[in-house]
Structure formats: structure tokens, C-alpha cells
Amino acid sequence: MKKYHIIFFLLLFIVTAQAQNQTDIIELNGYFNEIDFTVPNVTYTYVNEGDLYVSEVMHLPERTQSNTLDKILIFADSTLYSLYEYPIRRYAYDIYNVYGCEIQMIVIKGETCVDVKNIILSNSTNLGGVVFIGNIEPAWYEAYDVINHNTFTSWPCDMYYMDLDDVWIDNTHNNVFDDYTGSFNPEIFVGRIYTRFVGNESDELGTI
């Protein structure tokens, strides 16, 4: 009889634990599903002239003091954003829920690297970092190739976006930087969510 009592209490414990876990999962899912409606955000357009289009689609105010991040600026490629608005916004809300820092999200197309840098500089107060989602225009840097003499080699350089207080120079006026003045130290981090180089464009859209 004691054996049956033990089995009964074990089953009761397992069922109760599973029910509690299920409740926690439901509460967590509900929290994230409802966050779009409980956190204030704004939608307005900065620029829409010529080839450049810039629209701020989200601005979440700082919720808690953080020792690591005060503010994150997110740039989203307009093509990806139009197709996958919810998961991109969900990514921003997840950061907001974890860090409580201020979040700004900007949708952009037709940009140059100078356009992007100017937007970063205009929002640089308390800025901790920038995240690029999709094909946001990189800056390019070139230097003399010491191996292949009399030639220059160039590469995409996100240090241009991280370095907020130096002057970057294009001496040859070919839209590729080749010099800078200052300390060449990063003031913010820059991250990219961009998968086109691991497949074709349809693969990239499918990963969002």
C-alpha cells in the first residue's frame, strides 16, 4: 500500500510541475505577444527626397538604468522590413526587455555611407551601439598594397561607423576613404544581421 501511495504522490508532483511550467510558458508568450500594445512607439518620416528614404518606425524610451547599454540604434533595410516587420520589431522588443535601454529603429533605403553616418551622429547622445539589419550600405577604405606594388586594395570598413569623433578623408574623390585624422578609436559597437553572402537573396529573406 505504501508503494501505491509513493507512486500516487510522484505522479501528482509531476502533473503539478508540468502544469506550472505550462502556465509559465503561457504567461511568457502572452507577455511577448502583448508587448507591441503596451510599449509606446512612434512612427514618422525624417527624409523622403531623391533616392534617400529614412523613416523612424520605433522609439522605445529607456525603461531601466543599465550598466552596459543606454541606447541602441537599429537600421533596417526597407525591403526586408516591408516583408518581415513583425520579427524585426520583435528583435527590438527582445533587446528592450532584456536591457531596458532606449531603442530607436530606422527604416532606410537609397542610402550612402555618409547618410548613415550622419544619422548616427545626430542620434549619438548616450548611444551604445548600432545594429544593421539587411543590406545597409558599408563604408569602404583603401590602402597601398605592399604585396602587389603600384596598386591599391579596398575593403568594407564598419570602423567608419564606430568612430564618431575623427575625420575620414577621401583624397582621390572616388567614394572610398583612404585617410583619417584623430585617434582612430571606436566610441560605439556596430553589428550586422546580414546573410546574403551565405546564399542568394531568397535565402536571406527566408532567414528573417
What does the pLDDT look like over 38-47, one tens digit per residue?
Answer: 444 555 555 5
Q: What average pLDDT does range 154-164 have in this prediction?
A: 93
pLDDT computed for residue 23 by the predictor: 40
Please say whether the beta carbons of 133 and 103 come within 8 A.
no
pLDDT of residue 34: 46
Distance CA 122, CA 208 (A): 28
Residue where the block lists cell 533595410: 77
| Position 206 pLDDT exceeds 50 | yes
Paired strand residues for 168 = 180
pLDDT of residue 71: 95
Specify the pLDDT at position 103: 95
CATH number listed for the domain at residues 44-207: 3.40.50.10390
Return the pLDDT at 66: 66
Confidence label for 195 from pLDDT (cuts 50, 70 and 90): confident
Q: Which of 61, 131, 133 is nearest to 103 (CA)?
A: 61
Stretch 148-167: mean pLDDT? 87
> 182: pLDDT confidence band, cut at 50, 70 and 90?
confident
C-alpha cell at 155: 575593403
pLDDT confidence of residue 3: 47
Average pLDDT of every residue of the chain: 77
pLDDT tens digits, residue range 60-119? 999 877 667 899 999 999 999 999 999 999 999 999 988 889 999 999 999 999 999 999
Q: Mean pLDDT throughout 145-168?
A: 85
Does residue 147 or residue 62 have the better pLDDT? 62
> Per the confidence metrics, is the pTM higher than 0.75?
no
Which of 111, 119, 165 minimizes the C-alpha distance to 139?
A: 111
pLDDT at 194 over 70: yes
Which one, of 138, 110, 108, lies nearest residue 123 by Cα?
108
